[in-house]
Structure 1
Amino acid sequence: MLFNSFEFTVFIPIVFIVYWFLLNKKLKLQNAFLLASSYVFYGWWDWRFLGLIIFSSFVDYTIGFYLGKTNKVPLRKRLLAISLILNIGLLGFFKYFNFFIESFNDTIRFFGNNFDLATLNIILPVGISFYTFQTLSYTIDVYNRKLEPAKDAISFFTYVSFFPQLVAGPIERATNLLPQFYKKRTFDYDFAVSGLKLILWGLFKKVVIADNAATFVNIIFSNTENYSGSTIFLGVILFSFQIYGDFSGYSDIAIGTSRLFGFKLMRNFAFPYFSRDIAEFWRRWHISLSTWFRDYVYIPLGGSRGGLWQKVRNTFVIFVLSGFWHGANWTFMSWGFLNALFFLPLLVLKKNRINTDLVAEDKFLPNLREVFQMLVTFVMVNLAWIFFRADSMSHAAQIYFKIISPSLFAMPELMPLKVIILIIIFVIIEWLRRDREVVLDFSDWRIPRPLRFLIYYLIISSIFLLGGQQQEFIYFQF
């Protein structure tokens, strides 16, 4: 069920009314109803995979229960190992089985052997990468005694399958979201209104920015051999805004929908294209994933402790793993590797933490140095996005060679003026609201109420009048 679908516009009011008006004073029934609603939401895509998420929830709930019952270190390690093996094993089978088989076959053929192992027709369950990492965070935190084991199965199962963020995040930590299912929730009007504002802006980003950009991105990337370097680079830039509008738009809708039901999810994007270096970009892009790898992979490996070699190794490990998490293709790992290379000079020079404040804070415009830093960072991010969007390594190579050719300086064959104007307006709005988590929260500007509602009306109108052809959310494939 897509957030921008007719089914969801029917689904969400029904769930909201039952949740608040019929079950308002019954916490356990509220949680049970959210669980049932989440299974309907997920099963709308394919009921067959409900068993998988139920099994994953059952395994980690049971392991958490037994972790809470024992202090024996060897037994606790075995329990954690079971959770890791089962969760990563399921993720590996559904997402990476064919990749490893095809890579093995390619290696065998390289040495002159025609023997091929057969691949399987495997359907990737939507959201498996997200809820797998979510359940793993629970068992790891319980193992490390950062979290008490869940004693209420309904609350835990609902935490794993909570429908607003089930299929594309944010990847919520059990330490943040699970306790919210234990506490009585009362309707907070202002909190719910902030949620509606997030939903509205998220829909604008998805429908008006991402879907419009997607039309031209698909044309350009499907016919790279027919276009000049300038057109292809324009396509890369449009893809940057497509993936940002698509994924951050989904996150805004997920966080906003959660607020309608009294839940606070972590922020997943913080205006990443206003970053002044690649380190700042990764503190602002897909925050729930980057912090997950930081806390559960980077720090356990030693983090920034130890010598330079250890820091470099750990950095490449988390970036390449992040790429591999996104998909079973060498292009994703190359995307992660290239980002690690971009990050490396900052790490070596110990400048990866110099831009932690807000760019041009308390100023209307950035200075020339900040403009230059943002442009350089944006170009670096775009160069990496080529691997992310390309169909194969050879396709990526074709795109890079076109971009560095003299045709980069030719006039683009395609010039989608409407999309470019919409993106410029979008960037201006986000720049003006870069100090706010909710872009459409105008409380600091003291705008008269009629004018605020006019702004909301214009955004709603633009969604219906200027929206592009409906596209599935990009991160559904991950």
Structure 2
Amino acid sequence: MLFNSLSFALFLPVVFILYWLVCRKNLRHQNILLVVASYFFYACWDWRFLFLLVFSTVLDYFSGVKMAEANNQRVKNFWFWFSISVNLGFLGFFKYYNFFITEFAAAIANIGFQVNPWTLEVILPVGISFYTFHGLSYVIDIYKDKIKVKRDFIDYSLFVSFFPLLVAGPIERATHLLPQIKKKRTFDFTYAADGLRQILWGLFKKIVIADKCAEYANEIFNNSGDYSGSTLFLGAVYFAFQIYGDFSGYSDIAIGTAKLFGIDLLRNFSFPYFSRDIAEFWRRWHISLSSWFRDYLYIPLGGSQGGMWMKVRNTFVIFIVSGFWHGANWTFIVWGLLNALYIMPSIVFKTNRNNLDIVAQGRYLPTLKEFFQVMLTFCLTVLAWIFFRATDLTQALNYVSDMFSWSLFALPTKMPANSNTFIMLAFFLVMEWLGREQPFALAKLGLQWKRPIRWAFYYAIIAVIFYCADAKEQQFIYFQF
């Protein structure tokens, strides 16, 4: 069930009505309803993988209880490592088994031995990386005594499986979401209206920006040998907007949907393409994952407390693991390494926290210096996205080689695009720029306008969404991760 599908457009109002009209006086009933709705939502993808979600939930719930009841450190350690090992084992088996077995077979073949590896012919369970990380954060926080164990299985199940964030995040923390699940919720019209605006903008990002850019990015990447360097660069730019519109659009819809139920989810994007350096970009891109790796990997490794060598080592570890988290392909590893190299100057010269505020804060236009900083950061990011998008390293390297030719400085030829796409991209960038100091572009934009003008603006966006929508809904990129 896709957020941009008719089935979700029917599913959401039904759950909303039952939640606020039938169950509104009983928090327990509200939570049970959301758990049932979440399991139904997940089963719509493939009911056969529902047992993995249930198993992971039971495992981490039971492990948390056992750690809380442990009368010595050895027992606590056992249940902690048992939960970690089983969770990562399932994730590794489904997501990385084929990668490791084929790479092992290739390595053996290089020294003269031929093997026929047994590979899995199964699809990756949707959302497994996300709900696994939800459970891991809970278990780790209990082990480190940061939170108390939750003995209500329904509440914990809702934390893991809450349907807006279930398949592609944001990656929630028990310290943030569980207290909200335990607290009585009352309907707030202003908060719900804010959620609807965020859903609207998320749908615009996905359907109008991401899906349309995907058409041109796919055409150029799949036929890269037919295009000039400037057109190849444009194809990489298309993909940059595709992945941003797709993933941040999903996050906006998820966060906006949660607001309809009186629940606040972690922010996942903060206008990353307006960043002035790579360090700022990673504070604004996929925030829930970046902060997860920071808290549960970077800091435990020593963070930045052990001198320059430790900072450099830990930074490379984080980016390599982040790349590998995205998929079992060397392209993701190289993408992570590239970003680690990009951020190294700011680590070495201690400038990685120079840009903590939003660019041109309180001003309509950036300075010339800020403009060039943003453009340089964007171009570096676009270059790295080529490796993220490519099917393998050979395609990525050939794409980059062909792009960095003399034709890079010529006008694009055989350009697969139309004027409507450029108009929509220009509108999108203007809206994002005007709303960059808010949680999302439409959070405050237009609220002071007269009601007819404001509603005309919203209906115009809805009309564009319907105009650009394909007959067949397009999946979100991050479902494969």
TM bucket, shorter chain: over 0.9
Equivalent residue, structure 2, for 1:72: 72
User: Is 1:264 aligned to 2:267, yes or no?
Assistant: no
Separation of aligned partners in 1, 2:445 and 2:363: 18
**TM-score using structure 1 length:** 0.98
Q: Report the alpha carbon displacement of residue 445 of structure 1 after superposing the two structures with TM.
A: 6.2
Q: Report the alpha carbon displacement of residue 93 of structure 1 after superposing the two structures with TM.
A: 0.2
Equivalent residue, structure 2, for 1:424: 426
Q: Report the alpha carbon displacement of residue 444 of structure 1 after superposing the two structures with TM.
A: 8.0
Separation of aligned partners in 2, 1:441 and 1:83: 40
Kept after mapping to 2: 8 A contact 1:197/1:438: no
Kept after mapping to 2: 8 A contact 1:130/1:171: yes
SS at match of 2:385: helix
Q: How does 1:150-299 map to 2 (within 5 A)?
A: 150-299=150-299
Equivalent residue, structure 2, for 1:466: 468
- Percent of aligned pairs with the same residue? 56
Equivalent residue, structure 2, for 1:91: 91
Structure 2 alignment gaps of length 5 or more: none
Q: Report the alpha carbon displacement of residue 120 of structure 1 after superposing the two structures with TM.
A: 1.7
Separation of aligned partners in 1, 2:480 and 2:423: 29
Instruction: Give 1:113's aligned amino acid.
Output: F
Instruction: Give 1:212's aligned amino acid.
Output: K
Q: Report the alpha carbon displacement of residue 18 of structure 1 after superposing the two structures with TM.
A: 0.6
Equivalent residue, structure 2, for 1:447: 449
Q: How does 1:392-403 map to 2 (within 5 A)?
A: 392-403=392-403
Instruction: Give 1:132's aligned amino acid.
Output: T
SS at match of 2:455: helix
Instruction: Give 2:112's aligned amino acid.
Output: G
Separation of aligned partners in 2, 1:234 and 1:395: 17
Runs ≥4 in structure 1, deviation > 6 angstroms? none
Equivalent residue, structure 2, for 1:435: 437
Instruction: Give 1:127's aligned amino acid.
Output: G
Q: How many residues align?
A: 478
Instruction: Give 2:474's aligned amino acid.
Output: Q
Separation of aligned partners in 2, 1:446 and 1:251: 26
Q: Report the alpha carbon displacement of residue 159 of structure 1 after superposing the two structures with TM.
A: 0.9
Equivalent residue, structure 1, for 2:142: 142
Separation of aligned partners in 1, 2:423 and 2:290: 31
Separation of aligned partners in 2, 1:13 and 1:41: 13
Kept after mapping to 2: 8 A contact 1:280/1:355: yes
Q: Report the alpha carbon displacement of residue 454 of structure 1 after superposing the two structures with TM.
A: 1.1
Q: Report the alpha carbon displacement of residue 411 of structure 1 after superposing the two structures with TM.
A: 2.5
Equivalent residue, structure 1, for 2:480: 477
Instruction: Give 2:106's aligned amino acid.
Output: D
More displaced 10-residue stretch of structure 1: 467-476 or 175-184: 467-476
SS at match of 2:164: helix
Separation of aligned partners in 1, 2:324 and 2:394: 18
Equivalent residue, structure 1, for 2:4: 4
User: Is 1:42 aligned to 2:56, yes or no?
Assistant: no
Instruction: Give 1:441's aligned amino acid.
Output: A
Separation of aligned partners in 2, 1:2 and 1:372: 38
More displaced 10-residue stretch of structure 1: 441-450 or 422-431: 441-450
SS at match of 1:184: coil
SS at match of 1:164: coil
Separation of aligned partners in 1, 2:402 and 2:470: 28
1:367-420 Cα shifts (integer Å, max 9, x gaps): 000000000000010010011000000000111101111121233221513212
Separation of aligned partners in 1, 2:215 and 2:446: 36
Q: How does 1:308-457 map to 2 (within 5 A)?
A: 308-412=308-412, 413-416=414-417, 417-442=419-444, 446-457=448-459
Equivalent residue, structure 2, for 1:102: 102
Kept after mapping to 2: 8 A contact 1:208/1:468: no
Instruction: Give 1:471's aligned amino acid.
Output: Q
Separation of aligned partners in 1, 2:331 and 2:34: 38
Separation of aligned partners in 2, 1:127 and 1:18: 26
More displaced 10-residue stretch of structure 1: 417-426 or 195-204: 417-426
Kept after mapping to 1: 8 A contact 2:447/2:454: no
1:58-110 Cα shifts (integer Å, max 9, x gaps): 00000111111125222212111011101000000000000000110111122
SS at match of 2:45: coil
Change (3 A) 1:445 1:23: closer
Q: Report the alpha carbon displacement of residue 468 of structure 1 after superposing the two structures with TM.
A: 5.3
Kept after mapping to 2: 8 A contact 1:316/1:337: yes
1:295-337 Cα shifts (integer Å, max 9, x gaps): 0000000000112111111000000000000001000011001
Q: CA RMSD in A?
A: 1.2
Kept after mapping to 2: 8 A contact 1:65/1:149: yes
Equivalent residue, structure 1, for 2:19: 19
Kept after mapping to 2: 8 A contact 1:141/1:147: yes
SS at match of 1:126: coil
Kept after mapping to 1: 8 A contact 2:435/2:445: no
Instruction: Give 2:282's aligned amino acid.
Output: W
Equivalent residue, structure 2, for 1:56: 56
Kept after mapping to 2: 8 A contact 1:101/1:117: yes
Kept after mapping to 1: 8 A contact 2:270/2:440: no
Change (3 A) 1:468 1:430: farther
Structure 1 alignment gaps of length 5 or more: none
Separation of aligned partners in 2, 1:376 and 1:438: 24
Instruction: Give 1:289's aligned amino acid.
Output: L
Separation of aligned partners in 2, 1:407 and 1:475: 33
Separation of aligned partners in 1, 2:219 and 2:24: 49
**TM-score using structure 2 length:** 0.98
SS at match of 1:13: helix
Instruction: Give 1:19's aligned amino acid.
Output: Y
1:95-133 Cα shifts (integer Å, max 9, x gaps): 000000011011112223222322121220000000000
More displaced 10-residue stretch of structure 1: 104-113 or 267-276: 104-113
Separation of aligned partners in 1, 2:377 and 2:270: 15
Instruction: Give 2:118's aligned amino acid.
Output: A
